[in-house]
Structure 1
Amino acid sequence: MSKLPSKPAETLDITRKIALAYAPAAARPAWLALFMLEQKLAETARPGREPLMVQLRLSWWRDRLNESGEAWPVSEPALASLRAWKGQHGRLVELVDSWEARAMGEEQEDEFALALTNAYLALAEVLDVRDKGAIAAHARYLAGEATSGGRRGALPRAMRPLAVLCAMKDSSDNPGKGRRLVDFLRVVRAGTLGF
């Protein structure tokens, strides 16, 4: 049996760790759960894996998200963290389906962008955030549906990690020599002001 990490956030990649740092304490568990699931799905559907194994593993995730959290195995940290979604974890099945279609070469990028956008909108509902327009604009940009940073509107405090992810995407899409300070300031601004 695998041992649960004492600090689940330590399992995240550096981008998600930075974004998570800007989540308010009350919102952090729900953000952590989504980040852990996203990372698990990306690892499962990683290119080069046997397609049948990818389908089986993603099917396992789909089945877990379609059942009550009380039935989940205690040894899976991503599932344990999803309890913070207050029973709304079923709304993430579309994300699993999207990763499966993407891994099998059956899905267009706009469908993946829609699934990711819906996952962030579901998170907003879990966090009781009402402003869906700015959230959808940020999520579409992050998912690659929108091609430029542009004006997406400010996000409320509970959704600031999404603004941070977009700021980091802006930086990676526009690399340049000597831009570290500008990129750092962009991330800090996104985390503190929401845009």
Structure 2
Amino acid sequence: MSIITPNDGQELQSSAPAWLPPFQPVGLTSDLVEELSLPAKGFALKARKAMKTTDLLEHDQLLGALPPEQRLALAYARGEDKAVFLGLMALDARLAGIVRASREPLLAQLRLAWWREQLAAPAGQRPAGEPLLALLDHWGEERAALAALVDGWEALLGEAPLAQELLVEFAQGRAAACAALARRLAPATDPQEAGRAGRNWALVDLAARVSHPDERIAGLHLAQGLDWSRPKLGRELRPLLILHGLARGGRGGEGMMSGPASLILAVRLGLFGI
């Protein structure tokens, strides 16, 4: 099966799912802002500012690997929580890169196993010099729970089209990671609510990125059967609320950021939580 790498557009033979290049939403350009109505311009300008202002500039390379909707959501995290959110998002992007670039399933499994081991290893036994590993120290005791995210990505190493059960396993991995996020940052929030938000986000996100039509249809079908009511999340989890809201808007197949309405929704959720 052929997949397309996000950096050079070259096709590689791989047993991984047939990935599209990273989803490119409508950009927050000056031309776009000018096309919006006056109230919408204000939201779009706030979105542009939010994506540019971050206190995580020392992690610029990790930030650059994130999809635009995640960078936008990250901007609405509380200052002390941004490193925790970035750790989750950057790990997810790293694991996606392993699956996307895999030529041989066994090699990909070995790389995924390395990450699983590092997440479980005590601080003194982890290799130095890996910025993502250092960033994940902000997860404290919940760091080991991120192994579920590794398991979810490993489920996607099969030959396309993947069975629905494997798509569900992937979504469950992100759900477990989001539940751990709630335990780490928002003890007053029910982890199951955070897990539901993560599961919903995962399926719509995956459906937007796979190129095999059967996998895309299966992902959207699974997403349609989920509970899409607004999750009851504390202020600490505002970025997750944004990603769930964008996924809710894109569950019909439009993608998570399909135009100006998506930008307005993200900013509204980020500022007001509604």
Does 1:100 find its partner at 2:154? Answer: yes
Normalised TM-score (structure 2): 0.62
1:187 and 2:269 are equivalent in the alignment: no
Given the alignment, which residue of 116, 120, 129 partners 2:178? 120
Give matches, 1:41-56, under 5 Å.
41-46=95-100, 49-56=103-110
Q: C-alpha displacement at 1:77, in angstroms? A: 1.6
| Alpha-carbon offset, residue 37 of structure 1 | 0.6
Structure-2 change in CA distance of 1:163 and 1:60 (3 Å): same
Q: CA distance change for structure 1 residues 156 and 193 in 2, over 3 Å: closer, same or farther?
A: farther
Give the letter aligned to residue 162 of structure 1.
L
Residue 140 of structure 1: how far off its partner (Å): 2.1
- The alpha-carbon deviation at position 126 of structure 1 amounts to 0.9
Asked if structure 1 preserves the Cα contact closer than 8 Å seen for 2:197 and 2:241, the reply is yes
1:109 Cα offset (Å): 1.6
Q: Is the 8 A contact 1:134 1:152 kept in 2?
A: no
Alignment: residue pair count: 189
Counterparts of 2:227 and 2:69, CA distance in 1? 18
Counterparts of 1:101-180 in structure 2, within 5 Å, are 101-104=155-158, 108-132=166-190, 133-144=192-203, 146-147=223-224, 150-174=228-252, 175=254, 180=259
- 1:128-172 deviations in whole A, cap 9, x for unaligned? 332224323312211225426732234211111111112332444
Stretches of structure 1 that go unaligned for 5 or more consecutive residues are none
2:70, 2:124 → 1: CA distance? 27
Matched position secondary structure for 2:187: coil
The runs of at least 4 aligned residues of structure 1 exceeding 3 Å deviation read: 104-107, 170-176
Larger Rg computed on CA atoms: 2
Structure 1 residues 35-114: aligned runs within 5 Å: 35-46=89-100, 49-104=103-158, 108-114=166-172
My pick for the range that moved more, 125-134 or 53-62, is: 125-134
* Percent identity for Structure 1 against Structure 2: 33
For 1:134 and 1:194, the matched residues in 2 are separated by 15
Please say if residues 70 and 89 of structure 2, whose CA atoms lie closer than 8 Å, have aligned partners that are also in contact: yes
3-state SS of 1:191 partner = helix
Give unmatched runs, 5+ long, in structure 2. 1-56, 204-221
